[in-house]
Amino acid sequence: MAPLARHPMQHIDRKELYTNLEARIQYLHSFLDFSSRDIEALISGAKYIKALIPAIVNIVYKKLLQYDITARAFETRSTSFSGPIDPNLTENSPQILHRKIFLRGYLTKLCSDPTKMEFWEYLDKVGMMHVGQGRVHPLHVEYVHIGVTLSFIQDVVTEAILSHPRMKMDKKIALVKALSKVIWIQNDLFAKWYVRDGDEFEEEVLVPEIEPEGYLHGKKILHDGSESDSEIEDAMKGASCPFANFASPTKGEFESDVAEGMNVQLVEVLAGSPADAGRTGTQPIHFRTGRATGAAA
């Protein structure tokens, strides 16, 4: 039997990983085999994820308010604060409703075009903003809470996708794999702001620009707290979410059932739209063109 062909070893410039975000993203994509196949899965599955966003937001904040150490970030802007917090903080408290708007916008951003470098720049900026940089009013959330929240979101979304009664299994697998890769890249883009690896290159890293939340390079890419819930929902409708009447599940049976048992209500919500047929491919993505490497123009 002939020996298996061995791919030539790729060179990765260590300094570039810490000083060049695009080089870091390309390395992560290569290592995780994040390719055009994943892009297709994310595009064809975006409508299902958008349908889940309002429920996911409520479930995440219900979880975060179960622990004083995570809840205190909403009052003190730091999980290391050791003083007392308001025991009456609820999901309907003004600061929680404010944060829900941004989590909703963030999750909607995850359903946008990952072939654009702006997509990954924003995920990197989300990491930066949680270590007290790039904001007029700094926010400090320790990494242990970041990592476990990402895992919690991944668990909720994975269960909902795998429970879909109409989506074919190959589509479920492709979407779960693609989303898992995006979430783990986001995890890395959080971790890079917390760990001390590459500190010797710190002087060559650009100083973070202070911008309002939801902005990147002076361009507004997310909704911010100045907009009402109704404006956010209108924008979500404009993003072609097929389940717009579920956009505000803060009242009624839908929210309570979802919070109690994801496997019942989310299946009913998702069942409203069959999976689309999608093309597959394995080419890596080139950021500047947005096309698969080697694809015809």
CA distance 98 to 225: 6
251: which DSSP letter? S
Q: What is the pLDDT of residue 209?
A: 67
Nearest to 213 by CA among 102, 123, 132: 102
Q: Residue 222's pLDDT is what?
A: 66
* Confidence (pLDDT) at 286: 60
Q: What is the mean pLDDT of the segment spanning 115-138?
A: 87
Q: How far is CA 26 from CA 59, 265, 296, in A?
A: 33, 38, 21
CA distance 263 to 223: 30
Report pLDDT digits (tens) over 52-94.
Answer: 999 999 999 999 999 999 998 888 777 876 777 777 788 998 8
Q: What is the mean pLDDT of the chain?
A: 77
Domains parsed from the chain with CATH numbers: 20-270 (1.10.490.10)
Residue 262 pLDDT greater than 50, yes or no: no
Say what the pLDDT of residue 282 is. 54
Position 219 pLDDT exceeds 50: yes
